[in-house]
Amino acid sequence: MFSKSKTEKIKNNSVIFDFIKGSIVAVLISLGLVVLFAFCIKWFSLPDSVIAPVTFVIKGLSVLFGAMIAVKGESKGMVKGISFGAIYICFAFIIFSILAGTFSIGLSSFLDLISSVVIGAIVGIVKVNRK
Query: What does the pLDDT look like over 26-67, one tens digit per residue?
Result: 999 999 999 999 999 999 988 989 998 999 999 999 999 999
Query: What does the pLDDT look like over 83-105, one tens digit per residue?
Result: 999 999 999 999 989 988 988 89
Tell me the whole-structure pTM to 2 decimals: 0.84
Residue among 75, 71, 61, 77 at smallest CA distance from 29? 61
User: Which pLDDT does position 130 carry in this prediction?
Assistant: 84
